[in-house]
Amino acid sequence: MSAQARLLIVDDEPAIRKLLGAALVRAGYRVTEAGNAREALNAVQIDKPEAVLLDLGLPDRDGLELVPLIKAAGIAVIVVSARDATEQKVTALDLGADDYVTKPFDTEEVLARIRAALRHRLSASADAPVVQIGEIEIDLDARHVRRGGAEIHLTPKEYAFLAELARHPGRVITHAYLLRTIWGPGHENDVDYLRVAVRGVRRKLEPDAAPSSIIRNEPGVGYRLLV
């Protein structure tokens, strides 16, 4: 991972910018800041950051409007907002945001999300066909899933689900996206298909039922693979 990646923090609260900026710099990123939408768009043009941490409650424009604009420039967007309603999160993700963190946030969590978003950007060029999480190994080329070297047999939909998460490790993937991609358009509301598939994957990957799992549920929003 490039420690020299450039990040842009967009937030109208100087205290938040300062806090995030300090944490990101310490983690080895180069950071620029913007206090409103206009400055943010300028900074995107000039500094060409690789990821933007975007607050939604900006003084001059709603941050949601900026999501597609920034994404169009090929830049990852992580929304960092006090808005915690499910619909807000789903809307932002549907508009193309890579992830969503609610305030107050855990700095570690923000860093993890940034890593996930940037990892995807890197892996897009040099595909990593094998994703390793703990003792679980997902081979996207050979369509194998192994635990501790032993082959695990998944149904086609279960595999499709796990593979979809593994292609973007650490990132939240929305219900609607998963349903559309795996079951096809028109199945966006068949959430129970998804629940059945998740249950099947969990049972086969982690037989001892525990609340901590590599498949993390984001209530009402989607699933992510923990790395």
Give the interface segment with another protein, choosing from 17-25, 28-36, 111-119, 124-132 (CB under 8 A).
Answer: 17-25
- Residue 153, classified by CB atoms within 10 Å of its CB into exposed (0-12), middle (13-18) or buried (19+), is exposed
Q: At 186, phi and psi to the nearest 5?
A: 100, -15
Rule CB under 8 A: say whether 116 interacts with another protein.
no
Cα angle value 64/107/121 (rounded, 5°):
60
Out of 45, 106, 148, 153, the residue judged to bind another protein by CB under 8 A: 106
57 vs 129, beta carbon nearer another protein: 57
**Contact in structure between 71 and 38 (CB atoms under 8 Å):** no
Site string for another protein, 53-72 (x = CB under 8 A): ----x---------------
Rule CB under 8 A: say whether 177 interacts with another protein.
no
Out of 120, 183, 188, 227, the residue judged to bind another protein by CB under 8 A: 183
Site string for another protein, 18-37 (x = CB under 8 A): -xx-xx--------------
Distances in Å between the alpha carbon of 37 and those of 65, 69, 154? 9, 11, 46
Rule CB under 8 A: say whether 105 interacts with another protein.
yes
Residues 6+ apart with CB under 8 A from 102: 80, 81, 82, 83, 84
CA distance 115 to 126: 16
Rule CB under 8 A: say whether 210 interacts with another protein.
yes
Q: Largest Cα–Cα distance of the chain, in whole Å?
A: 55
How many residues bind another protein (CB under 8 A)? The answer is 47
Out of 16, 114, 152, 176, the residue judged to bind another protein by CB under 8 A: 16
The angle, 0 to 180 degrees and rounded to 10, between the axes of the packed helices 86-94 and 175-183 is: 50
Q: Which of 166, 42, 37, 172 is nearest to 102 (CA)?
A: 172
Residues 6+ apart with CB under 8 A from 186: none
Rule CB under 8 A: say whether 212 interacts with another protein.
yes
Give the interface segment with another protein, choosing from 79-87, 122-130, 138-146, 166-174 (CB under 8 A).
Answer: 79-87
Give the interface segment with another protein, choosing from 10-18, 43-51, 69-77, 91-99 (CB under 8 A).
Answer: 10-18
Site string for another protein, 134-163 (x = CB under 8 A): ---------------------xxx------
Query: The tokens 């001059």 sit on which residue?
Result: 60
Rule CB under 8 A: say whether 192 interacts with another protein.
yes
Query: Which residues would be at the binding site for another protein (CB under 8 A)?
Result: 13, 15-16, 19-20, 22-23, 57, 82-87, 103-107, 155-157, 182-183, 187, 190-199, 202-203, 209-213, 216-220
